Amino acid sequence: MQYKNILVTGGAGFIGSNFIRFMLGKYSEIKIVNLDALTYAGNLENLKDLEENVNYKFVHGDICDEKLVNETIRNNPIDLIVNFAAESHVDRSVIDSSSFIQTNVVGIRVLLDAALENGKIRFHHISTDEVFGHLKADEQPFDELTPYNPRSPYSASKAASDHLARAYFYTHKLPITISNCSNNYGPYQFPEKLIPLVTTNLAENKKVPIYGTGENIRDWIHVDDHNRGVEMIIEKGIIGETYCLGGDTEKTNLEIIEKILEIMGKKKDQIEYIEDRKGHDLRYAIDFSKAKSELGWEPQIAFEKGLKETIEWYKNNPDWWQKIKSGEYQEYYKKQYGE
């Protein structure tokens, strides 16, 4: 790895914590500083196994805090920033979008300026396929040339963040790359998202909610495949470029739920149909041929296998998600760090 001191923002969340574990497991010569505000989605228990690792450091703070961001970069001294920090749940953005604008737009501006002012630090921004809007059943998948057309406050804030990152490249020659990825699944995903929600509800013998008729289609990718793609972009990606990453696994929400019911040996009467999400995007799909031809990246974890292993992980780690569902996980930081 050509970078030695990496600042990961939002590393206490789902994808960021898996990224930190993956990178520290693969590279013994790197150091990672995790800057995370520990919002409801941040959970230091995701990184419990790394607490004693001398190459890992946690800094509690907000990416919008200009002073803290600059100090963290200078003190460590950072040569790569990977920005996972975000408000990430569409439903929450429908109810109140203010924190989405604050973190996803104002926050990245602070990070980009800090990268610029501290010697044009290499910057990778994690984004989503949702910035492209949604597709009809017969439309071609999104690729890097698809025009932006976000339809939720979440995706609009992520679109703004992508535009800002790209603008810092064109205006200031800041060495950025961006990845737009489809729906991730895997261990340590907050149980408000579809796969962990359904799995943990079924484990507790509760009903599983499904929006509308369950016909909405998402492309699913294992979090480890996503993070391997991020690593390859950091190592080999062309500065200023965007890469679309996808799992080549389009499924309706109903298909996902039925598959989980089958794997867990549960019956379809556990499904509860609820009123559809406002402005619910119909379909996302990703054409990742640029990442394949330029980086040699493609997803390696077959969906069926990845899903079974993920369900096993939630079944074997009830402590982790039960503490989240009860709210107890938010006490962990206070116990650990005495604040």
Ligand X SMILES: NC(=O)c1ccc[n+]([C@@H]2O[C@H](COP(=O)([O-])OP(=O)(O)OC[C@H]3O[C@@H](n4cnc5c(N)ncnc54)[C@H](O)[C@@H]3O)[C@@H](O)[C@H]2O)c1
Taking a C-beta distance cutoff of 8 angstroms, is the pair 177, 239 a contact? yes
Which 3 state secondary structure label does DSSP give 265?
Answer: coil
Tokens of 130: 């949702």
End-to-end CA distance of the chain: give it in Å, rounded: 35
| Residue 38 or 285 with smaller CB distance to ligand X | 38
Q: At 121, which amino acid appears?
A: I
The number of beta carbons lying within 10 Å of the beta carbon of residue 16 is 28
Taking the least distance from each CB to ligand X, the nearer of 168 and 333 is: 333
Widest distance between CA atoms in the chain = 58
113 is catalytic: no
Residue 156 or 266 with smaller CB distance to ligand X: 156
**Could you give the count of Cα atoms lying within 13 Å of 90 in the half-sphere of its Cβ?**
19
Q: Which residues would be at the binding site for ligand X (CB under 6 A)?
A: 9-10, 12-16, 36-39, 41-42, 62-64, 84-88, 103, 107, 126, 128, 158, 181, 183-184, 190
Residue 266 or residue 301: which is nearer to ligand X going by CB?
301
* Nearest residue to 283 (alpha-carbon basis) of 193, 225, 219, 208: 219
Run of H or E residues at 218? strand 217-222
* Least spacing, CB of residue 96 vs ligand X, in Å: 14
Q: Which of 62, 129, 162, 281 is catalytic?
A: 129
Characterise 212 by phi-psi region: left (phi > 0), alpha (psi -120 to 50), beta (else).
left
**Phi, psi angles (nearest 5°) of residue 59:** -120, 120
CA distance 143 to 288: 7
Nearer to ligand X, 37 or 307 (CB): 37
* Residue 265 CB, nearest approach to ligand X (Å): 26
Structure tokens at 198: 């359904």
The residue number whose beta carbon is nearest to ligand X equals 13
- Minimum separation from the CB atom of position 37 to ligand X (A): 4
Q: Report residue 166 as tokens.
A: 């790209």
Q: Is 154 a catalytic residue?
A: yes
Residue 303 is encoded by which pair of tokens?
């969906």
The one catalytic residue in 36, 130, 231, 248 is 130
| CB closer to ligand X out of 99 and 322 | 99
Q: How far is the CB of 66 from ligand X (least distance, A)?
A: 12
333 catalytically annotated: no
Active-site annotation, residues: 129-130, 154
